[in-house]
Amino acid sequence: MIRAANTGVSAVIDAHGDIRQSLPLGEAGKIDAELPGALPPTPWLGWGPVPVVLLALAILFAASMSGRLRSGGIGGRGRETGETR
């Protein structure tokens, strides 16, 4: 990142947030530095929201099955009468 300001602090900051070179407040001058390299792409770039959506669907499925099993909705005994379905 390059920050240039007419009346403020100017700096070259790399992808990790480290300041490579800077000019303090009120000092005139120039910064002659190489542009910092970028970080490698994150997994989100390749996968997108697919893992999050799959996890949410799995949680919803598990929650719905848990409710059915507790209420006896899958061939079990009814909760109040004790009858089989």
**Residue-range domain boundaries for the chain:** 1-32, 42-85
Cα–Cα distance list, 85 to 30, 67, 70 (Å): 82, 16, 14
Position 59 scores a pLDDT of 93
Q: Write the pLDDT tens digit of every residue in 18-77.
A: 999 998 888 888 888 888 888 899 988 999 999 999 999 999 999 888 877 666 665 555
pTM of the model: 0.48
Beta-carbon count within 10 A of 12 CB: 20
Q: In 3D, which of 54, 57, 2 has the Cα closest to residue 32?
A: 2
